[in-house]
Amino acid sequence: MSNRSGRPQKTAMIIARRIVGEIHRGGLVRGDKLPSEKLMLDEYQVGRGTLREALRYLELSGAISLKPGPGGGPTVEKPDATHLMNSLGLVLQFEGAPFSTIVEARAGLEPMAARLAAERITGDQLQALADSVTKMGENLRDLEVFLETNRVFHDVIATASGNVLFGYLIDAVDGIFEGVAVGVEYPTVRRAKVHEAHRAILDAIESGDGTAAEEAMRTHVAELSAYLRKKFPSALSKPVTWEAMQ
């Protein structure tokens, strides 16, 4: 079996895929135990080193956790956007992609997510969105709270889109987007403008107006992109690095 590069797949990767297939076919969920190492060695007919490499790969991917000692062993987990963000960060770094790549991707993804969210958002999600806007407005002088509520706002919209791929992609992209690591600053006046934009997007989503939500989000992202180009052009040209994301 070969991968998309044409190179033969490592045996450990083949075994990792088989383990994930067994998790799916068995209907296993987070917290369920996988078979012992001895049983898996018998099942997959590979060496201990190969099996452990496969399990380690799945652990790094967020699919399982490995717990030592009695009662431990491999346990099913659930990958989240952090794992995708780390993978994207590595890919972008080795491609030499600048920070502007993330800005452009966000401008393309988030307006459609806002449109879908206006059509599909649940009551609990709408409340979480409103809470993030309120908390941001009450704490504009606190950068840490601003960044936290900004992240929550965009993550809720991504999830509320009802599209799992949008949800994970936007969550991962927003994890890189803040830009603080590449020298972007958000003075209080800028934070107030972001809060105002979030309020407009919230109002459109709350009213169920997909067109208005899409346009409000497009305007918001475009204004932020223009701010970055004007105030921090050197930051946009800086390469995305995995180290800066940690």
Residue 214 located in a structural domain: yes
CATH of residue 34's domain is 1.10.10.10
Residue 137 located in a structural domain: yes
26 and 128 share one domain? no
What token pair was written down for 89?
A: 């960060």
Cβ neighbours around 219 below 10 Å, total: 14
181 and 209 share one domain? yes
Residue 6 located in a structural domain: no
pLDDT for the residue numbered 73: 87
23 and 111 share one domain? no
The low-confidence residues of the chain, meaning pLDDT below 50, are: 1-2
Ordered DSSP codes for 96-137: T-BHHHHHHHHHHHHHHHHHHHHHH--HHHHHHHHHHHHHHH
Selection from 155, 156, 134 nearest residue 145 by Cα: 134
What's the rounded Cα separation, in Å, for the pair 215 and 220? 9
15 and 93 share one domain? no
Q: Report strand pairing: 73-76 vs 64-67.
A: antiparallel
Domain boundary among 76, 102, 117: 76
139 and 166 share one domain? yes
In total, how many domains does the chain have? 2
70 and 89 share one domain? no
pLDDT for the residue numbered 133: 98
The per-residue pLDDT for range 117-131, each reduced to its tens digit, is 999 999 999 999 999
pLDDT for the residue numbered 2: 45
Which range of residues forms the domain containing residue 191?
82-245
User: E-assigned strands of the chain?
Assistant: 64-67, 73-76
pLDDT for the residue numbered 85: 85
Residue 4 located in a structural domain: no
CB distance 29 to 76 below 8 Å: yes
91 and 203 share one domain? yes
Residue 5 located in a structural domain: no
pLDDT for the residue numbered 216: 98
Residue 204 located in a structural domain: yes
51 and 113 share one domain? no
Domain boundary among 76, 102, 131: 76
Terminal Cα-to-Cα distance of the chain (whole angstroms): 34
59 and 103 share one domain? no
CATH of residue 225's domain is 1.20.120.530
Residues with Cβ within 8 Å of residue 133, at least 6 apart in sequence:
149, 153, 195, 198, 199, 202
148 and 185 share one domain? yes
pLDDT for the residue numbered 173: 82
The per-residue pLDDT for range 5-20, each reduced to its tens digit, is 555 569 999 999 999 9
164 and 140 share one domain? yes
Residue 1 located in a structural domain: no
Residue 53 located in a structural domain: yes
Domain boundary among 46, 61, 76: 76
54 and 159 share one domain? no
